[in-house]
Structure 1
Amino acid sequence: MAKHSKPCVLLTGFTPFDGEAVNPSWLAAQALDGQTIEGHVVHAKELPCEFNHSLNTLYKTIDKYAPTVVICLGQAGGRSDISLERVAININDARIPDNKGFQPIDTPVIAGGDDAYFATLPIKAMLQKLHQAHIPASVSNTAGTYVCNHVMYGLLHYIKSHELNCRGGFVHIPFSPLQAVNHSGAASMSLASVIEAIKVMITCAVTEQHDIKLSAGTTH
């Protein structure tokens, strides 16, 4: 595994999918590539919106950079805020095919793997910092069953199985305004706001060693 003089953060986003021309998760990650936040260099990587190939790309990038924090980003059209994912489950159940036409239904992400993994990022502390920065955000208890959950589960499994000194998790972001104009009534968030949110989350992830107790649950 590679060693670098400065600690680093790996930030990933996805290629466009489901007929969209852009994916704001990659646009936001790409905008921060090469920046230094709290002494950590940010490395951005675009993941294919494909089962299996996405994880192979992620694992190779983790091995290349040996990050101390990995934040994977994905688009969740229909959500209205920054969604900090709490849990990933060991299931693929694709509503639509991925970008290669593959549509797994009721298959495990990792055969024989744990049923689920919790994010190891300080998601409650991140939520508090986002709110203090006046950025709409919430804790989400489902990353879905498509490629986003696939990547989150695969990431956390890789960290655990390889005993990496690394914290990881997944964050969903809303449509960009460019996309929302084609989806009547859909919420959106500007790319500038998403980038600011990512900076807040990275800062928190590399400076807060322990998460906080903060009510962020739901009743439904």
Structure 2
Amino acid sequence: MNLLITGFEPFDSETVNSGYEAIKLLPDKILDYNIIKLELPVIFEDSIDILIKAIENFNPSIVLCIGQAGGQANIIPERVAINIDDARIPDNKGMQPVDVPIFKDGENAYFSKLPIKKIVENLKSENIPADISNSAGTYVCNHIMYGLLYFINKNKEYNSIIGGFIHVPYLETQVVNKPNTPSMTTEEICRALKISIETIIKEPVKNIDTKKKSYFFDFSV
């Protein structure tokens, strides 16, 4: 069985991306799963296409996307992705969409298919700070999380994929000139990702049935 884990290239003047640096330290096998590592561009128009091609090529049972959340101190599983791109800064191709739907035929939001509460519980039990987030933002991290969950939901042959997104802090090397900014070592983040992966593999997933209710998000505010 395959597990696809993705991280991003550096962006916003950084020379490394903490998520992908930690991913590179992961073993090639965890429990019974082959760990397939993929670096994604921080580019709105390309990132989802590259992710989908990897899913089609490797047919993973689990897809875990990792992003860098500079300024955060915790490992942060994301609960929900929303159908909007609203970029604070340009992406690595110079694109800066404002209030643009990711997919016009998509739901307003898709919920993570990861056991996010169990991930946080298991991380805390290992003295790793962790918390659930209810907003993945509106930059490329939310874009890729939404694109992943949209793809899973829209394609019957991939409906069984367990997919979601986790944010991680800066590395220690990234905050040398950023006073009072929290960070973790690459090894600490890698350990957190390994625990998260083991949790996802072992724990049953409780999905939220969004079809039973109507969800409305006002993106104009």
TM-score, structure 1 normalization: 0.91
**Is 1:123 aligned to 2:116, yes or no?**
yes
1:84 to 77, 87, 93: 77
Task: Indicate if the aligned counterparts of 1:130 and 1:197 stay in contact, CA closer than 8 A.
Answer: yes
Q: Which runs of 5+ in 2 are unaligned?
A: 207-221
**Aligned residue in 2 for 1:177:** 172
Letter in 1 for 2:169: P
What SS does structure 2 have at the residue aligned with 1:9? Answer: strand
Aligned length: 205
CA positional deviation for 1:209: 1.4
Supply the RMSD in Å over aligned alpha carbons: 1.2
In structure 2, what is the Cα distance between the partners aligned to 1:171 and 1:148? Answer: 9
SS in 1 for 2:123: helix
Q: Once the two structures are superposed, what CA deviation does each residue of 1:128-150 show, in whole Å capped at 9, x if it has no partner?
A: 11111111100001100000000
- Match of 1:139, SS state, is coil
CA distance in 1, matches of 2:41, 2:25: 18
Q: Which residue of 2 aligns with 1:159?
A: 152
Aligned to 2:20: 26
Counterpart Cα distance in 1 of 2:76 and 2:15: 22
| Structure-1 residue corresponding to 2:138 | 145
- The share of aligned pairs that are identical, in percent, is 45
Partner of 2:48: 55
Shift of 1:112: 2.1
Could you tell me how far apart the structure 1 residues matched to 2:24 and 2:56 are? 20
CA distance in 1, matches of 2:177, 2:106: 39
Residue in structure 2 matched with residue 201 of structure 1 by the alignment = 196
Which stretches of structure 1, 4 residues or longer, exceed 6 Å deviation after superposition?
none
Matched, 1:134 2:124: no
- Can you list the C-alpha shifts for 1:23-42, whole angstroms capped at 9, x where unaligned? 0111111222x621110010
Contact 1:30 1:45 in 2 (8 A): no
Give the TM-score, by structure 2 length.
Answer: 0.90
After superposition, the C-alpha distances for 1:27-75 in whole angstroms (9 at most, x for unaligned) are 111222x621110010000000000201011000111111111110010
Q: Secondary structure at the match of 1:107?
A: coil
Rounded Cα–Cα distance in structure 2 between residues aligned with 1:202 and 1:37? 8
